[in-house]
Structure 1
Amino acid sequence: MGPDPALRAWAEAALPVARQEIAASPEPWRCGGTWFVGVDALPNAADGSVGACAFPWQALPVAPRSLHRAQLSVIRPGYPQPSEEESAAAFAFRQKRAAAHLDGLLPIGPDRRRMIREPHAWILGVPLTSVRAAPLVVWEGSHRIMAEALRQALRPHPPESWADIDITDAYQAARAEVFRTCARVELPVVPGEASLLHRLTVHGVASWSGTEREDRIIAYFRPMLASVAEWIAQP
């Protein structure tokens, strides 16, 4: 979406606040010091405003909602790098498949089985810096494949139990189908623009390329839904 002056104004207001929070955060950088996850790191208000700057709802094709503190996803030149917290296979997947995943699924228990614990309405990314390197990557049409696979996996169970159902196998099989059948698309965005994804879109982050040296910072919002049933509703 964009360019839109309201999106640009919000990004300009949020950037110095974001940089201050990133510098002060005790959260460790991942991927060899090239990725700051930054969950709930931006101290925006529930209406999305930062300081005196209102959130640019008028520039978005979604209705206003109460918003959580935004994630500040920061990528530095050289992303990704090997790290002790990531296996060789996981690092290779990050390089080859941009660590493609579906938001809302959490690894539960010692075996880290995937369960739908954070059903959200949509994924909105608002860039705060003009860096195009390491852009968001999406698999076009993947939301339809994921929605059908997860509905089939949950159908035998009562809806009130869906947040506790292990959907790991269904998720991984559907993601493999996405890789086989869906086009991979990179979405570089700059201040004044934004990316709005369907909540079931498979997505990731491309490896850094090019000569840009500034950090790539994007503020992400994922407002919660009331139930898993809403989350897997027909796209």
Structure 2
Amino acid sequence: MVGQGWQKLGPHPAIAAWAAAARTAALQHLATTDETWRCGGTWFVGVDALPNGTDGSIGGIPFPWDALPLAPEPLHRAQLSIIRPGYPQPSPEETPAAFAFRRDRDAAHLDGLLPIGPEKRRMVKEPHAWILGLPLNEATASPLTVWEGSHEILRAALLKALAPHPPESWGDIDITPEYQQARREIFATCRRIELPAKPGEATLLHRLTLHGVAAWKPGNAAPPEGRMIAYLRPQMPTVHQWLTAP
């Protein structure tokens, strides 16, 4: 994974068993939640939506650590990301420019950067250790997209931006211009690839990989609930470790 910034895993029966239990929990959540869908009703964000335990187990099914190249650690409740036909659509919460970026550039982003303040300046507030996507149903629509090798471009750019500051303050430094410039370089130099996956498979991303979600294309297919993927992103202790660890 280190060279390209992503790795496909499986299929494996332990991953499939967890995905089946998570899909049951996801459908139950959808039937009772009052969370508003974004992007004109085509994207369910679902942060912390799944009721897995800190050991990752859900519905009595253990998390498939043995099928993954990851050391077990405490987990947060998984995100339930669902895409429905027509994604993305314009919505009041996005400017026309933001919508165009979502449509044309997959809303490409680096996890862990949050928009802070009225001007939405980017700061590293959630330094994740890794990003794991676990498909919950069979779908060909709106796969995860990644830019191969982008993690090293982002690492270099953000380290250069933060180097003049004490490491303990790195989470409070505005890195917006450096991030935007690195993203432009990535679009110009890195290969964009789509990573569709099925239940029983998983997609592991390096924490610094630029990634997004492809638009729903004509001919794409998914069950009535839409394309469902569970995401897990445990956090690292410090931003310094987030940027300097392998």
Same fold (TM over 0.5): yes
- Secondary structure (helix, strand or coil) at the match of 1:232 reads helix
- In structure 2, relative to structure 1, the CA distance for the partners of 1:176 and 1:211 (3 Å cut) is closer
Aligned amino acid, residue 148 of structure 1? A
Aligned amino acid, residue 91 of structure 1? F
Aligned amino acid, residue 244 of structure 2? A
Which residue of structure 2 lines up, in the alignment, with residue 54 of structure 1? 62
Point out 4+ residue stretches in structure 1 off by more than 3 angstroms. none
Conservation of the 8 A alpha-carbon contact between 2:140 and 2:220: no
Mapped to 2, the partners of 1:198 and 1:107 lie a distance apart of 21
Conservation of the 8 A alpha-carbon contact between 2:141 and 2:222: no
Name structure 1 gaps, 5 residues minimum: none
Give the structure-1-normalised TM-score: 0.98
- Secondary structure (helix, strand or coil) at the match of 2:139 reads coil
Aligned amino acid, residue 200 of structure 1? L
- In structure 2, relative to structure 1, the CA distance for the partners of 1:220 and 1:99 (3 Å cut) is same
Mapped to 1, the partners of 2:133 and 2:244 lie a distance apart of 22
Mapped to 2, the partners of 1:24 and 1:143 lie a distance apart of 38
Which residue of structure 1 lines up, in the alignment, with residue 6 of structure 2? none
Identity of aligned residues (%): 66
Mapped to 2, the partners of 1:114 and 1:3 lie a distance apart of 37
How many pairs does the alignment contain? 235
Aligned counterparts, 1:9-24, within 5 A: 9-24=17-32
Q: Which deviates more from structure 2 when the two are superposed, residues 53-62 or residues 82-91?
A: 82-91
Which residue of structure 1 lines up, in the alignment, with residue 221 of structure 2? 212
- In structure 2, relative to structure 1, the CA distance for the partners of 1:14 and 1:234 (3 Å cut) is closer
In the alignment, structure 1 residue 231 sits paired with structure 2 residue 242: yes
Give the structure-2-normalised TM-score: 0.94
- Secondary structure (helix, strand or coil) at the match of 2:19 reads helix
Conservation of the 8 A alpha-carbon contact between 1:133 and 1:216: yes
Q: CA RMSD in A?
A: 0.9
* Deviation (angstroms), 1:181: 0.4
CA deviations 1:160-219 (Å, max 9, x no partner) are 111100000110000000000000010001101000000000000000122414210000
Which residue of structure 2 lines up, in the alignment, with residue 39 of structure 1? 47
Conservation of the 8 A alpha-carbon contact between 1:105 and 1:117: yes
1:166 equivalent among 174, 177, 198? 174
